[in-house]
Structure 1
Amino acid sequence: MASEQDTDLITVITEDHRAVEAVFAELESGTDWAHRKDLTDHVIAELVRHSVAEEQFMYPAARKYLENGDELADKELQEHAEAEQVMKELEGLQPDDSQFDELLDRLIRDIRHHIEDEEKVLLPKLRAACSVEELGRLGRKVLDAKKTAPTRPHPSAPDKPPANRLLAPGAAFIDKIRDALSSRST
C-alpha cells in the first residue's frame, strides 16, 4: 500500500518528470531507427497522460490556492499547447524524415524548460500553500487521471475543467484502440 508521501502531488509530478527525462536521455544517446520511433511514441504517450492529469487537477489547484495561480496556470497551459502541437507533428513522422530530429530536439528542449519551471516555481508554491492531506488527495487524483487519459496529442481538445474531464475518457478510448491497431508503443 502506497503511503501519503508516495502519492503526494509533488512526488507524483517529479517522478513523472524523471521518467520522461530518462527517455529523453535514451533518445539522445543514439538508438536504432525502430527503437527511436518506439521511444518517441512512448514519451509522447507519457507526456500526454501527464499533461492531461496536470490540466485536470494541478493547474486548478494552482488557481485555487496560489495568489498568482491564474497567471501561473495560464503560462503552463500555453506551454502544454505548444508542446502538444509539436507532438502532433512528430507523431506522424518516421525517424528518417527530415523534420523528425528537429521536432524531437524542440520537444525535448521545450519540455525540459517546462519541467525546470514547474519544479522551481509552481511545485514549491503548491507545497507551501497546500496541506499534506490536500497534496495527497491531488496526487491520487493525478495518478487516477493518468490511467484514463488519452495517449495521443489532441491540440484542439479543451484544457480546463470541466470540459477536459468530460472529454478525456472518450479520446483515451479511441487512442487506445488506435494504439492497439497500429502496435504503437505506449
Structure 2
Amino acid sequence: MTHDDSLTLTIEATHRSLEQRLREARRPHRDPHRPRDNYAATDTFMAATSRHLAAVEASLLGRVRHQVPDGEQLCHHYLQAARRLEHTLSLLKGRLYGEAHAIHLAWPELWETVGSELGEHNRIEGELVEALVRCRPDETDALARQVFESEVSGPTRPHPYTPHTGLFGLAARRMWAWADRLWDAAEGRVIPDPVAPPHHRHDSLLAQYLVADPKFDADATIVEHRHRVHPKAGGVT
C-alpha cells in the first residue's frame, strides 16, 4: 500500500482507531461507581465503526467501481465483508441492550466474531484503497476529505438490512443519519470525532505532542524548521 498519500494515511489511522476502540470495549470495566463504562465503550465502538462503513460506501465505492480495473469485483468483496461486520454489530447492539433476538448470545464468542470480521474488513478495505490510489493518485486529498465529511454526517448505528449502494443506498444513509441523530440527542449518546485527514505540511513531533494528536508524522523532525525573510537584509535566516 502507498503510505504517503492523504487517503491511505486517513484510512490506516481510522483502522487503528477502530481497533483501539474495540480493545477498550472488550476490556472489563469493574468500577462499581461507573457501572455504565462498559456500555459507553461498546456504544462508542459501534458508532465509530457504523459511521466509517457508511462513509466508505458513500465516498469510495462508486469511484472504485467505475475507475479501477476489476473495480466491480473489488466492491463486491468489500460489500460482503462490510455487511457481515454490520450484521454482527447489530447483534452486538442487541446483546448490549437486552433485545430478545440477541440476549442468548455469549459475549466471548460475539467479541471474537467482531474482532475477526473487523480485521477482515480492514484488510479488504486496504486493498480497495490501494487500488484506487494507484489509479487516481491526484485525487487522494479530495477523497480523504470526502470520507471524513461523510463520517461526520453519517449514521451512528448499524443498519444491515437497508440498501448500501446506488440512489437507494444514498437515501437510506441520509434517512438513518437523521433518525440516529435524533436518538443520540434523546439518549445523550457521545459520538466520537472521526479521524481527520492529515495536513500537507509535516508538523514537528513537538507540534504533534502539543496538540495531543501524534497520528501521522512519526518521522517528522523534533522541532519544525521555518525559513523567514529578515526585514532589513532581505535574506533567509
TM-score by length of 2: 0.68
How far 1:139 sits from its partner (Å)? 1.3
Structure 2 residue 141 is the aligned partner of structure 1 residue 136:
yes
Structure-2 residue corresponding to 1:182: 187
Q: Give, in whole Å, the separation in 2 of the partners of 1:28 and 1:155.
A: 22
Q: Quick check: 94-103 or 158-167, which moved more?
A: 94-103
Larger Rg: 2
Q: Give, in whole Å, the separation in 1 of the partners of 2:115 and 2:190.
A: 18
How far 1:28 sits from its partner (Å)? 3.8
Q: Which of the residues 58, 61, 76 maps onto 1:59?
A: 61
Structure-2 residue corresponding to 1:102: 109
Letter in 2 for 1:44: M
Q: Give, in whole Å, the separation in 2 of the partners of 1:104 and 1:163.
A: 31
Work out whether residues 25 and 45 of structure 2, in 8 Å CA contact, stay in contact via their aligned partners in 1.
no
Unaligned runs of 5+ in 1: none
Q: Which of the residues 161, 166, 173 maps onto 2:166?
A: 161
Give CA deviations for 1:13-44 in whole Å, capped at 9, x if unaligned. 22211110111222344333622221111111
Work out whether residues 148 and 168 of structure 1, in 8 Å CA contact, stay in contact via their aligned partners in 2.
no
How far 1:98 sits from its partner (Å)? 5.3
Q: Which of the residues 94, 100, 113 maps onto 2:120?
A: 113
Structure 1 residues 86, 62: CA separation in 2 closer, same or farther (over 3 Å shift)? same
Percent identical across equivalent pairs? 25
- Please state whether the residue corresponding to 2:52 is helix, strand or coil: helix
The structure carrying a bigger helix percent of its residues is: 1
Letter in 1 for 2:80: Q
Query: 1 or 2 for the larger relative contact order (CA 8 Å, sep ≥6)?
Result: 1
Structure-2 residue corresponding to 1:22: 20
Q: Give, in whole Å, the separation in 1 of the partners of 2:97 and 2:28.
A: 12
Q: Number of matched residues?
A: 179
How far 1:95 sits from its partner (Å)? 8.4
Q: Which of the residues 48, 62, 74 maps onto 1:72?
A: 74
Letter in 2 for 1:124: E
Letter in 1 for 2:130: P
How far 1:117 sits from its partner (Å)? 3.0
Unaligned runs of 5+ in 2: 192-237
Letter in 1 for 2:52: H
